Structure 1
Amino acid sequence: MSTVRAARIRRPRRLAAEATALVVAALVAFPLYWMVLSAVKPAGEVQSDEPRPWTLHPTLDSFRRVFEQQDFGRYFLNSLLVAGVVVVASALIAFLAATAVTRFRFRFRTSLLVMFLVAQMVPIEALTIPLFFLMRDVGALNSLVSLMLPHLAFSLPFAVWMLRGFVKAVPESLEEQAFIDGASRTRFLWQILFPLVFPGLVATSVFSFISTWNDFLFAKSFLISATENSTLPMALLVFFDTETPDWGGVMAASTVMTVPVLVFFVAVQRRLVSGLGGAVKD
């Protein structure tokens, strides 16, 4: 009887938790729904004084205007290149750095970890002007390198801190056993340790990809002025006008920008769940 009674008590709580989760999910998903809806609405409905959460006359005219941009393909490839380089480079560097600060004992190790954390707290806006002068001095202005380097620097502190927990969770006895079996440090690093912390690498890669893919501040304000080196967020500016902005085009371009993020997320979702959970399999 006690078990049945406990189940009856837990059931309303479970239903309340599930209902709350559905409400939160709906609130989070509604902006995405409105973005896609506005992208397929006719221009008259988008600019109507009485917006409605549906349309009876969907159209792809907004998407047509987006893809008819002369430099849209170049913007897309530039964004893909920048995001890909940042994701791969940050994952590899963070993996090596997290291994170093976890497995090796050296002076100022704690100070170095604190510096990583402090660097993550600095607002990006406060660093834009110093970054401009830095990129100018190294001759990287108006190039994709001027976007790769800042995003790589901003992605590394979070990645190192997160991967440090994964590396620390791998028992040192496993490393000692590998050395006894004749494995070198390099072989242990890439053939044993790397697969074990791979879920964490996936989680940090999602963060790096999203922050780099959606960047607008660096691409527009300071580092990029040449059209051939612009990235996909710059495509949104084409649809802004001081008098009559093309909101359908803005929403269509935003929808196109969201698709690669969703594809990347779906491709790594299984690894991402275990990565965020901190799971490390022996």
Structure 2
Amino acid sequence: MMWTLSLLLLGGFLPQAFMEPHAPGQTSDADLHVLQSPPSLVLTKGDQATLHCSFPAGDPNGKGAVSWHRVSLEEDTSSSRTLSFGGRFSLAYPKTSLGKGNGSLVISNISWKDAGTYFCKVWLWGKEEKQGNGTRLVVYGHPNQPEIYLQVHGQKEGTITLACRTFGFYPAPVNFSWHGSDVSLTALGPAELWESEAGGFQSIHYVAMPFSSTWDIKTITCSVRHVSLVEPLSSNYTYDPGERGLSGNQLMKYLNIIKISLVLGLLMSMIPTVGRKCRKMK
């Protein structure tokens, strides 16, 4: 969708009919050129963007207008919606753009929704309307430091499952990679991906790891790569069977003992109640 951001810079009141662009083919004494820079800009969510737009300076008291419109990355220019300046969108020189020949756009606290191609359009009284070559704005969100979780029971006998999770990134996807010291790690399918309620995306990836209570301490590393990162983000997980007692069979024994104790306790608490009811029935 194309969003049109416009601000009329008028030296005095100008009727609506005179605000319309000149008819196609109309020329003026001095040619009007609109230059935009940079051609593309890559920023991170929360940054401030300045999209430069320059043109020959006109009469500060002259009639004219500077406007901006945006074509989103996903859609074409077939539809448009007018949007007024204000809030996060402003001109670098809101009152003197025509006199300075500068209609640069400033976007504060940019979000992922601001991504798109921005065009600066200038109209001066007595000159034809011209549009710049456009600036493509790409907005990234960095993934958070990956977090590694341990699931006691693996999908296969004699294994445990490790999960690596990251969130807050944009656009999707991220790529996970695992490394273990002297241990074989098996990927359990592709990474799961979904949109986060807080914005951006989150993703989680699972691997299976064989376990043994006789093992030495193992260190497992999960790394995350994303288009917004120069270097991958990595986190380590230390697996110590002796310290954590994470043998699946041992844990099952403990859980069974707890279950039996709870059942026995429940039965013992019910015996006095059952005895009283039996005496009443007699």
TM-score by length of 1: 0.20
Q: Which of the two has greater strand per residue?
A: 2
Greater helix share, structure number: 1
Bigger Rg, structure 1 or 2: 2
